[in-house]
Amino acid sequence: VEPYSTIADIKSLVHKSSAKALRDGDVLQNLPVGTSATMYFRDLGPQLGWTMVFLAEYMGPLFTYLMFYLRLPYIYPHPHAFTSSPLTVVTLACACHTCHYVKRLVETIFVHRFSHGTMPLRTILRNCVYYWGFSAWLAYYINHPLYSPPSYGDLQVNYAFALFVLCEVGNFSIHLTLNSLRGEGTKCRKIPSPTKNPFTWLFFFVSCPNYTYEVGAWLGFSIMTQCLPVAVYTVLGFIQMSIWARGKHRAYTREFKAYPGLRMAIIPLVL
């Protein structure tokens, strides 16, 4: 290849690209190498673009839950096929769950801007099993003919529903805010900050309020349905998101010298 070719040109010559160490924009001439350079390529295996990844992960829960809500045959004992529950909380839960995943799909397509291109196929399979499996497990119980409504009745359902809605709106606001931070093509990095939107004021207290709101939404859903599998899912999600939040928080504090000291990673004043 010519000295003035870019790394991106070379990548297109090789079918499987690696380049974690080098960026697409690097020009060969400017790299710290002599007249002949050895480049190491690593085959990462089959990969999928981020958008496809998230579409696959979120479509599953969306449709599996509906299958259980509609009580398709062979899921529940025979007389219950295609019946519907008389309880309002069951319909409300279906609406919440469906809206949650529709929102996620909309964000994937229209809001999020993804950096690294891809994710390996194995990871996607594992993630899909997790999302699809869990949503099937919790949908089975919520839509079961023997489902028991929450112990404190409508009071519990309504307050939990309010929590759910507030957290969903909050989560969406944060995603919009983070999206506007990353200007088209600019490489400059800005500290995420609160805006006029009250939901973004959580930025005063945490680095990753989107995760905080996500946990809050699932907490609301757990309380609303009073279903143990949902609580388990919430806890597991909280653990995973805390790990991500702490990583992000550490990256922010290292990158920005004037990073607000009051901010924690995911839970205000605590974590």
Partner 1 sequence: MVSSEEDGGAAEEKETNNRRRNRGAVATAWLTFYNIAMTAGWLVLAITMMRFYLQKGTNRGLYRSIARTLKFFQTAALVEVGHCAIGIVRTSVIVTGVQVCSRIFMVWFVTNSIRQVQSEESVVLFLVVWTVTEISRYSYYTFNLLHHLPYFIKWARYNFFIILYPLGVVGELMTIYAALPVVRRTAMYSLRLPNKYNVSFDYYYFLIIAMLSYIPLFPQLYFHMLRQRRKVLHGEVIVEKDD
Residues lying near partner 1 in the complex (CB under 8 A) are found at 42, 45, 120, 122, 141-142, 144, 146-148, 151, 225-229
Which residues are registered as beta bridge partners of 49?
Answer: 118
Provide CB contacts within 8 A for 237, sequence distance 6+.
Answer: 214, 215, 218
Please say whether the beta carbons of 168 and 103 come within 8 A: yes
Taking the complex as a whole, the smallest distance from the CB of residue 106 to partner 1 amounts, in Å, to 30
Taking the complex as a whole, the smallest distance from the CB of residue 147 to partner 1 amounts, in Å, to 6
Listed in sequence order, the DSSP H helices in the chain are: 7-13, 50-69, 88-106, 121-142, 153-181, 209-225, 228-255
Distances (CA, A) of 35 to 8, 28, 29: 19, 11, 9
Closest to partner 1 by CB, 108 or 143: 143
Taking the complex as a whole, the smallest distance from the CB of residue 152 to partner 1 amounts, in Å, to 11
CA atoms within 13 A on the CB side of 210: 17
Closest to partner 1 by CB, 149 or 194: 149
Task: Specify the pairing of strand 118-120 against strand 47-49.
Answer: antiparallel
Contacts 24+ apart (CB under 8 A), 249-258: 249/207, 249/208, 252/191, 252/207, 255/189, 256/189, 256/191, 258/191
Task: State the Cα–Cα distance between residues 213 and 90, nearest whole angstrom.
Answer: 23
Closest to partner 1 by CB, 94 or 208: 94
Taking the complex as a whole, the smallest distance from the CB of residue 143 to partner 1 amounts, in Å, to 10
Closest to partner 1 by CB, 170 or 229: 229
Closest to partner 1 by CB, 122 or 250: 122
Taking the complex as a whole, the smallest distance from the CB of residue 27 to partner 1 amounts, in Å, to 28
Task: State the Cα–Cα distance between residues 243 and 233, nearest whole angstrom.
Answer: 16
Taking the complex as a whole, the smallest distance from the CB of residue 76 to partner 1 amounts, in Å, to 11
Please say whether the beta carbons of 7 and 23 come within 8 A: yes
DSSP-assigned letter for residue 264: B
Taking the complex as a whole, the smallest distance from the CB of residue 59 to partner 1 amounts, in Å, to 25
Closest to partner 1 by CB, 46 or 247: 46
Closest to partner 1 by CB, 47 or 253: 47
